[in-house]
Amino acid sequence: DLAFCLNEGECSIIETVAGVHRHCRCKEGYHGLRCDQFVPKTDSILSDPSQKTHKHIKSLFNFISSKKRKYP
């Protein structure tokens, strides 16, 4: 069944003495046994404004938390 691979991955069927095995060659950005896991490039994560916003919010939260510890 060549529909085994997801996200436009290329499926290969390998026949061995132990049986038939399927192997997927995943497109860029995908991995996993069936190309079912998406992993964005590092540079695309850094250029995503929502990621930068997340970092700023986390920094602000850490700053506020550190002040609460000093001044109960």
58 lies in some domain:
yes
The set of residues, in sequence order, having a beta carbon less than 8 Å from that of 23 and lying 6+ positions away, is 11, 12, 13, 14
Query: What is the DSSP secondary-structure string of 15-67?
Result: EETTEEEEEEEPPTTEESTTS-EE---HHHHHH-HHHHHHHHHHHHHHHHHHH
Q: Give the total number of structural domains in the chain.
A: 1
Q: Which domain holds residue 24?
A: 10-70
5 lies in some domain:
no
**Tens-digit pLDDT profile for residues 5-50:** 999 999 999 999 999 999 999 999 999 999 999 987 766 555 555 5
pLDDT, residue 50, reads: 59
4 lies in some domain:
no
66 lies in some domain:
yes
53 lies in some domain:
yes
Judged against a pLDDT cut of 80, whether residue 3 lies above it is answered with yes
Residue predicted with more confidence, 64 or 38: 38
**With a threshold of 0.75, does the pTM exceed it?**
no
